[in-house]
Amino acid sequence: MIETIRNKVKEKQGVECCFRFHGTRNQIDEFQGTIVDLYPAIFTVLSTDRKLKTFSYSDILTQNLEILY
C-alpha cells in the first residue's frame, strides 16, 4: 500500500498541486506547492510562499494529507 502511494507521489514530483492537511484539533491547512524531494519515508513540498514542508507517506495513507488536482 505504501509503495503505491510512493509511486503516485513520484508522478506528481515537480508539478504544482494543491494540498489539504488535516492537523490537530480539526485544523485544516490548504496550500499550493510543488513536491521537491522524495526520500524512503518522507517527501518535501515547497509551498508557493517559499516554506518547505515535510510529510510522510503514511500521512496520505491515514488521510491526514490530501493531494488535490
Question: What are the sequence ranges of the domains in the chain?
Answer: 2-68
User: Above 90 in pLDDT, residue 69?
Assistant: no
Please identify, in words, the CATH class of the domain defined by 2-68: mainly beta
Q: How far is CA 20 from CA 27, 57, 61, 69, in A?
A: 10, 14, 14, 11
pLDDT for 56? 97
**pTM of the full structure:** 0.91
pLDDT for 5? 96
CB 69 within 8 A of CB 27: no
pLDDT for 35? 97
pLDDT for 38? 97
Tell me which amino acid residue 42 is: I
In the chain the beta strands, taken as DSSP E runs, fall at 16-22, 28-38, 42-47, 52-56, 65-68
Instruction: Dump pLDDT digits (tens) for 4-56.
Output: 999 999 999 999 999 999 998 999 999 999 999 999 999 999 999 999 999 99
